[in-house]
Amino acid sequence: MKLLILGGGSCQLNAIRRAKEKGHTVIVSDYYPDAPGKELSDFGELTSTFDVEGNIEVAKKYAVDGVMTTGTDQPVYTAAKVAAELGLPSLIDLTTAKAVTNKRIMKNRFKAEGIPTVNFRFLKKDFSDSKLDGMNFPVVVKPLDSQGQRGVYRLGSIREIREHFTDVLSFSREEEILVEEYYESDEITVSGWVKEGRVYLLTVTDRVTFENGPHIGICSAHNFPSRYLKRYFQEIREISAKIVKGFNIRNGPIYIQMLVGDEGIRINEVACRIGGAYEDVFIPHLTGVDILEMMIDAALGLEIDPAPLKEYDLTNNNKWFSAQLFFAWPGKIKRLTDLNSLKRLPGVIEAGFNFKIGDEIGEIKNATQRAGYILVGGKDREHLAKNLNRVFARLKIFDEEGNNLVIRKTGTKSPVIYSRCSS
């Protein structure tokens, strides 16, 4: 069968490999001519994942049997639109796809359905100060239809909102931006699968983030199990079910970012996709539910066996795991640790770099500056910590002066706790 995969970046590589292993012909669309997924695929097209009409033409050209994406937000709508136009299988309809990829619709749906979220407003560029009456500062500003923390800032005044407005809009196709009250909180991420309107929770992770100046919400790790799982499990399950019903999500993957603070749980965002922190690898490892296999089969209209979902119990999962999505200081790369030596370390499940020798690493502004990833397991908390220490002792990204650029994250939001790994 022929499968169109939207995106050829690091988040889609495992899907491309798996689809080919299953004997499918894979076509990748990506506006980067050198997207790594194109080397793995059978055919590559220079088409943006945001380009709906372009991808409809690509799908027609190859007479594809299905279309999908993974690990990224906006192409979810493109995939649903291509499927609807060509009569291909789709797990969600266009209305749902739009609601989970446009924050104006998403936030208004939260409000209408009684789903807890922070106070918010939508602003046009010529907004009056009175539009923000009743809002508490600091606030977080976001594009309505972007991804990867592009154009997301924590700001302390109306003046700062005006100063950043054009930059935020540069990451959007809309004429408005979202302004939310900043909620002092920790983040958790809920991943699951919806079958005929019922949500099956697979993992709840602590989403470790940091701030770099006004840049906020940049994720550097996902840790399982979440420290909030036992205390909030019932509430997490009830809210997740409410989201599934409120957004009319009938089938497929679900990914929910929740904020946990003194006022309880608030929903940040919801997506109908597999997460971008290599959940396609670590969810099967932790749960025995092969969510990537299910996604590929579903995109091609093949039957999915619900038995693994019904047999799995998140509350009885005693495994420990960390997805380290590491960053590096700015500099030109001269030498990298051999990946095979990292993969041989105890507990390491998978590892990869997002840059190569000769590349220039820039200032950290959003998730696109992430240097690489390492997925590490352990039999308990202490064992996992030892495995992580071994990894970071070995992990090196050297610049031309011999400095190790790798940043070791220690677990809070403050950028000052970041330290350069030893050389």
The CATH number of whichever domain residue 359 belongs to comes to: 3.30.470.20
- Whole-number pLDDT of residue 216: 75
What's the mean pLDDT in 130-140? 95
The verdict on residue 298 lying in a domain is yes
102 within domain boundaries: no
Same domain, 21 and 51: yes
When pLDDT is cut at 50, 70 and 90, the band that residue 390 belongs to is very high
pLDDT in tens, 159-217: 999 999 999 988 888 889 999 999 999 999 999 999 999 999 999 999 998 777 787 77
Q: Which of the residue ranges 89-103, 142-156, 168-182 has the most confident prediction, judged by mean pLDDT?
A: 89-103
Share of the chain above pLDDT 70, in %: 96
- Round to whole Å and give the CA distance between 359 and 344: 26
3-state class (DSSP) for residue 213: coil
- pLDDT class of 78 with cuts at 50, 70, 90: very high
* Percent of the chain at pLDDT exceeding 90: 86
Structural domain includes residue 97: no
Same domain, 191 and 310: yes
Whether the per-residue pLDDT at 95 is higher than 70: the answer is yes
Confidence bin at 418 (pLDDT 50/70/90): very low
What residues have CB less than 8 Å from 21, skipping those under 6 apart?
none
Last residue of a domain, one of 272, 296, 318: 318
Q: Does 406 lie in the same domain as 344?
A: yes
CA 306 to chain centre: 24
Residue 145 has pLDDT above 60, yes or no: yes
Total domains present in the chain = 4
Same domain, residue pair 225 and 311: yes
415: preceding bond cis by omega (within 30 degrees): no
Whose tokens are 């997925």? That residue is 375
Where among 90, 111, 137 does a domain terminate?
90
pLDDT top residue among 211 and 16: 16
Q: Cα(112)–Cα(327) distance, rounded to whole angstroms? A: 38
For residues 224 and 294, state if they share a domain.
Answer: yes
Across 217-226, 367-376, 381-390, the highest mean pLDDT is recorded for 381-390
Strand 2-6 versus strand 66-68 pairing type: parallel
Same domain for 72 and 13: yes
* Residue-number span of the structural domain to which 347 is assigned: 322-420
Q: At 60, which CATH number?
A: 3.40.50.20
Would the pLDDT of 148 be above 70?
A: no
CATH code, 133:
3.30.1490.20
Which among 181, 176, 113 is positioned nearest to 145, based on CA atoms? 176
Q: Which residues contact 126 (CB under 8 A, 6 or more apart)?
A: none
What is the pLDDT at residue 416? 35
On whether the CB atoms of residues 270 and 255 are closer than 8 A, the answer is yes
Pairing type for strands 215-224 and 198-212 reads antiparallel
Write down the pLDDT at residue 387: 96
Which one-letter DSSP state was computed for residue 421?
P
Q: Quick check: 142 and 152 in contact, CB under 8 A?
A: yes
Q: What is the pLDDT of residue 147?
A: 66
Beta pairing class for 198-212 and 372-378 = unpaired
Of 102, 164, 116, the C-alpha closest to 139 is: 164
Q: In residues, how long is the chain?
A: 423
Assess whether 238 and 289 both reside in one domain. Answer: yes
Q: Is residue 224 part of a domain?
A: yes
Q: Residue 319: in which H helix or E strand, if any?
A: none
Q: Are residues 264 and 338 in the same domain?
A: no
Q: Is the pLDDT of residue 31 over 90?
A: yes
**pLDDT at position 367:** 72
Does 337 map to a domain? yes
Coil, strand or helix: which one is 139? strand
Task: Give yes or no for residue 98 having a pLDDT over 70.
Answer: yes
Same domain, 293 and 239: yes
**189 plus 292 within the same structural domain:** yes
pLDDT at 97 over 60: yes
Q: Which is nearest to 298 in space by CA: 83, 61, 12, 30? A: 83
Whether the per-residue pLDDT at 359 is higher than 70: the answer is yes
Q: How far is CA 111 from CA 106, 114, 118, 239, in A?
A: 9, 5, 10, 13
